[in-house]
Amino acid sequence: MIKRYALLLLLLFFIHIKTQAQVTILDTKKIDRIKNGVTYVLVNRLDFYGAKKYMEVLKKSWTLTKELRFMAVDDFSKNLSPDDSFLSLQATLIRMPVGATYSESLNYYLAFWTCDPAYFKKDRELKLSDEEMIAKIAISVDPKAIVDVPDFRRNANSVKQILGSMDFDGNNLLFNWGPGMVKNYLQQMTRLLLAGKKMSLGDNITNPAELAKLSTETLFVPNTALIKFRIFFPGKSNEDKEENDAGSIFEKYAYNYKVLLQDELDKKIIESDKPFFYLLFIKDSTNKLVCVINSQTGETVYYKGTSISYNLKSGDLKDLSKEISK
């Protein structure tokens, strides 16, 4: 039984390595095909909360295709071109046996994809199998999403089912999310795609020249990075807003830092004329990703992924501090 359980954990370890990364680049070859097309951001409603601000920020930084527009998922039609591409919030539900019950993990990501050209010859609703994935950007999800978004308990087979009641603002269920952070995500994704570079979880990142600046500059930290995270168990309350103490988490970080509310940090990304660095902490029930982002360029100057781990710990900041001091 012990060997069987160990094998299961090993299998899950590799599953998460393949599916979780801050920016996962899957296919750079489609860029020439889509660059003259339109990129549509799929939403439930065109007037979702904050829609104007999202579009204003994204249009200023989007350079991968000729245009970026919102599209209601109900309006998805054959009038589109095979050269068009799409951004949509998606998720994968993973269940892991734990004793007599099981834990659940929601892996949320912003998906960038185009359609299989064969879809345009068929008269039917768009299915997930029609997607040709180009890149994924991992996002942290509030644990209560397991309860609040019951659609993920089923095997969704269409983009419309995947969206469920979620809209592009995240419905207050997404951490590390807002117009400013989304802008940075797309900047980073665009840079990697244009460079023709694939990337996955195992590709840790360190930019010594940029990190050295944090020896004198302040690292900004969203308060959501401090929220305690527990394994999801069905039938139990999954909402947990208790925060770890910033002082104990950062006790081994030798430089200046400042905790901001997530909304405050996102606003600072948009409004600040000067670049600054902020901590991005992405987690699900088995992985955590610790990143440092340049607010102006969206560049990830530090990235380290750890599997079978849950919360931000002092050791994570100790590792970052060491890289800054080099």
* Residue 206 belongs to a domain: yes
Residue 134 in any domain: the answer is yes
pLDDT score of 9 = 30
Residue 11 in any domain: the answer is: no
* Domain membership flag for residue 122: yes
Q: Give the total number of structural domains in the chain.
A: 1
Cα 127 from Cα 174, distance rounded (Å): 24
C-alpha 146/C-alpha 142 separation (Å) is 8
For residue 1, the model assigns a pLDDT of 32
What is the chain's pLDDT, residue by residue, as a tens digit (326 residues)?
Answer: 333 333 333 333 333 333 345 788 888 889 988 999 999 999 989 999 999 999 999 988 899 999 999 999 888 876 788 899 999 988 776 666 777 776 666 678 899 999 988 888 877 777 778 889 999 998 887 766 655 554 444 455 555 555 566 789 988 888 899 999 999 999 999 988 988 766 655 567 889 999 999 999 999 999 999 987 665 444 444 444 556 678 889 999 999 999 999 999 999 999 999 999 999 998 765 678 899 999 999 999 999 887 767 789 999 999 999 999 98
SS3 15: helix
Residue 26 burial class via C-beta count within 10 angstroms: exposed 0-12, middle 13-18, buried 19 and up: middle
The span from the CA of 208 to the CA of 206, in Å, is: 6
Sign of the alpha-carbon torsion through 185, 191, 281, 86: positive
In a domain, 8, yes or no: no
Domain that holds residue 38: 19-325
pLDDT at 117: 85
R_g of the chain computed on alpha carbons: 20
Cα–Cα distance for residue pair 323/213, rounded to 1 Å: 11
The answer to whether residue 10 sits within a structural domain is: no
Residue 129 has a pLDDT of 83
Tokens 């951004």 identify what position?
A: 87
- Is 34 among the domain residues? yes
- SS3 of the chain: helix, strand, coil, percent, to 5: 35, 30, 35
41 occurs within a structural domain: yes
